[in-house]
Amino acid sequence: MIKNLKLTPIKKPSTFRKMAMGTWKTAGDPSVYGSLDIDMTEANEFIKKIEQEKGVKLTPGHLVGKAISHCLNIRPELNGMIRGSKLYLRDSVTLFYQVNIPGGDDGIEKADLAGVNITEAEKLSVIDLAKKLNDKASDLRKGDNKVLRKNMNLFRYLPWALTRAYLNLGSWLMYGLNLNVSFLGLPRDPFGSVMVTNIGSLGIDRAWAPLVPYSRVPLILAVGEVKDQVVAENGKVVIKPMLSIGVTFDHRFIDGIHGAHMAREFKRCFKEPESYLL
């Protein structure tokens, strides 16, 4: 006789875990997955120079955000969203950075995940971008973001069965009807043009993040950890610091040829950081 599995329900899941359950129902979606390996030799020197001369601490995530903002600015046909059965373009680049919120004595039990927006990122230098992101992330971790705090508090008491309906309703109101629904605890255009998540800070080399249907974001970058790797250069074997980035994009909005063109420009930003990132 086969015994039933002994399963114990999670009584107090994190807000993000509850949102995730209301986000993905099946595995079928238009995601395309790719990867980029970025030579960080020049970028690392650039990071050291900025810290010494400007007193600003940069991370690979900051550079990635500025680089993708540059790419979307020169390829505006890739900066948009799908509403209904039509494609719409944005007039500026908004970055959405996912932010880890530690909690509990071990930093895991009550940990959560949220995010902040950097608007008109194409107009910012990587230094200004880093300052804005650090300030917003700090406010978020301290609970100073009133609109987001209101939304997260709502999710704590929202029944599991209603999470999907709530998320889809919010998406339809915000993006489908283009309404300001901040009174529901949903900030205006909360997810922006592209999502950036820093998995390298968690000690993960490479990963691919899933598309989030209700966000209408067609592009997600998962920034891994910089590690020395053996690579071939001009017929020789050399060791270089390499950054791995997992790329997920919506095939309904972006094609492989678009991705290839953008990847070349993206890598150029790291090869010549002073020309493209300042």
CA 68 to chain centre: 11
- Nearest-CA neighbor of 90 among 100, 102, 74, 76? 76
The CATH number of the domain holding residue 59 is 3.30.559.10
Q: What is the pLDDT of residue 93?
A: 92
Residue owning tokens 């029944």:
159
- Give residue 165's pLDDT band: very low, low, confident or very high (50, 70, 90): confident
Tell me what the mean pLDDT of segment 246-275 comes to: 88
In a domain, 144, yes or no: yes
- Nearest-CA neighbor of 116 among 58, 191, 16? 191
- Determine the residue type at 29: D
- The pLDDT tens digits of the residues spanning 202-259 come to 778 888 988 888 888 889 999 998 998 888 888 889 899 999 999 998 888 887 787 8
SS3 36: strand
User: Into how many domains does the chain fold?
Assistant: 1
In a domain, 161, yes or no: yes
270, 67 contact by CB (below 8 A): yes
In a domain, 69, yes or no: yes
Mean pLDDT of the chain: 80
In a domain, 99, yes or no: yes
Task: Give alpha helix (H) positions in the chain.
Answer: 15-23, 41-54, 60-74, 126-142, 146-157, 160-171, 256-271, 273-276
Check the CA dihedral 2-160-152-214 and report its sign. Answer: positive
| Residue 25 pLDDT exceeds 70 | no
In a domain, 2, yes or no: no
In a domain, 8, yes or no: no
Q: Report how far residue 126's alpha carbon sits from residue 97's, in angstroms, rounded to the nearest whole number.
A: 14
- The pLDDT tens digits of the residues spanning 68-96 come to 999 999 988 888 888 777 788 888 899 99
In a domain, 92, yes or no: yes
What range defines the domain where residue 108 resides? 31-276
In a domain, 15, yes or no: no
Q: What is the pLDDT of residue 18?
A: 58
